Copies of this chain bind each other. A is one copy, B any other.
Amino acid sequence: MVAQAADILKANNLSITDSRKSILELFRQSKGALAHSDIEKKSAANFDRVTIYRTLQTFVDKGIIHTIPTSDNSVLYALCKDECTQGHHHDNHVHFICDNCETTYCLDHVTIPQVQLPEGFLEKQKDVVVSGTCKNCS
Interface residues of A (CB under 8 A from B): 67-75, 94, 96, 99, 107, 109-110, 112-136, 138
Residue on B with the closest CB to A113?
Answer: B113
Copies in the complex: 2
Is the pair B96, A107 in contact by a Cβ cutoff of 8 Å?
no
Known: A71-B127, A124-B133; 17 extra A-B contacts, CB below 8 A, are A67-B71, A69-B70, A107-B117, A110-B115, A110-B117, A110-B118, A113-B115, A119-B135, A120-B134, A121-B133, A121-B135, A122-B133, A124-B132, A125-B130, A125-B131, A126-B130, A127-B129
User: Is the pair A124, B99 in contact by a Cβ cutoff of 8 Å?
Assistant: yes
- Report whether A132 and B127 are in contact in the complex, using a CB–CB cutoff of 8 Å: no
CA distance A7 to B71 in the complex (A): 28
Closest residue of chain B to A128 (Cβ to Cβ) is B128
A134: chain B residues within 8 A (beta carbon): 120-122
